[in-house]
Amino acid sequence: MNKTNKTIVPNMEQHLNAAALKRHNNIGEKLDLKLIHAEHLINLTNMSRGYDLCATFADNERLHYKSFYNNPSLKYFNGMDKWKLLIEIISKSSKGEIVYKEQLAKVINCSHKTLTKYIDECIEGGFFVYLNPVNKTVLDKRIINIRPSEEVIVAFINYSIEKIVLSIDLLKEFSKSWQKI
């Protein structure tokens, strides 16, 4: 069975009605493609490549999600509040800062009860550890600093690298300035 798309093809603009062309132009006017040097994809003669770009964005997002969701160290953080928690813990840890629950609750915009539940689950699951900030010793025994586990930080960095590689591949395919490299 041939899975080639027979609708999105070069010169497709010649076969579209006025409403489809208007939609294409309306969308194209609002895109920031110049940021990636791909504004040439807005032109009607490159319409099929513009659709290819959109499909590549969607495919990359699908790959990001699959990579994230299938990773046992990241899967727990599926959901906006938990993802924000992970990002804040990693950010503070990588800067050598102390993590305070009050600050986290404000950034994540959740109750202290919910935040405590998340942190307890992360400690129990081995995603976070109680550990002093790098190059600092917390003298106040009431402060318990939280840092990502080694497995979580490795998974997060590798996940981020995968996203960058896919983005570079996308730029090489669709950006005029990257096509020269």
Examine residue 43 and state whether it is found in any structural domain, yes or no: yes
144, 99: one domain: yes
Contact predicate 63/159, CB 8 Å? no
Q: Could you tell me the CATH number of the domain that includes residue 88?
A: 1.10.10
**Mean pLDDT within 15-21:** 87
Phi, psi of 149 (to 5 degrees): -70, 165
How many structural domains is the chain composed of?
Answer: 2
Contact predicate 65/59, CB 8 Å? no
More confident residue, 152 or 41: 152
- pLDDT tens for each residue of 125-169: 999 999 888 877 877 767 778 999 999 999 999 999 999 999 999
Examine residue 154 and state whether it is found in any structural domain, yes or no: no
Domain that holds residue 166: 12-70+161-179
Look at residue 81 in the predicted model and tell me its pLDDT: 93
CA of 34: how far to CAs of 61, 143, 174, in Å? Answer: 21, 48, 11
Instruction: Identify which of 36, 8, 14 has the alpha carbon closest to the alpha carbon of residue 176.
Output: 36
More confident residue, 179 or 131: 131
Alpha-carbon distance of 69 to 21, in angstroms, equals 38
- pLDDT tens for each residue of 66-121: 988 999 999 999 999 999 999 999 999 999 888 888 788 888 988 889 999 999 99
Instruction: Identify which of 139, 140, 177, 162 has the alpha carbon closest to the alpha carbon of residue 63.
Output: 162
Alpha-carbon distance of 148 to 146, in angstroms, equals 7
Look at residue 59 in the predicted model and tell me its pLDDT: 94
At 14, the pLDDT band (50, 70, 90 cuts) reads: confident
Phi, psi of 64 (to 5 degrees): -60, -50
Contact predicate 155/74, CB 8 Å? yes
22, 64: one domain: yes
93, 36: one domain: no
Phi-psi region of 7 (alpha: psi -120 to 50; beta: other; left: phi over 0): alpha
User: Residue 146 has which token pair?
Assistant: 């939280």
Look at residue 160 in the predicted model and tell me its pLDDT: 95
**pLDDT over 60 (residue 2):** no
**Which residues, in sequence order, are bridge partners of residue 147?**
129
Percent above pLDDT 90 for the chain: 57
Examine residue 6 and state whether it is found in any structural domain, yes or no: no
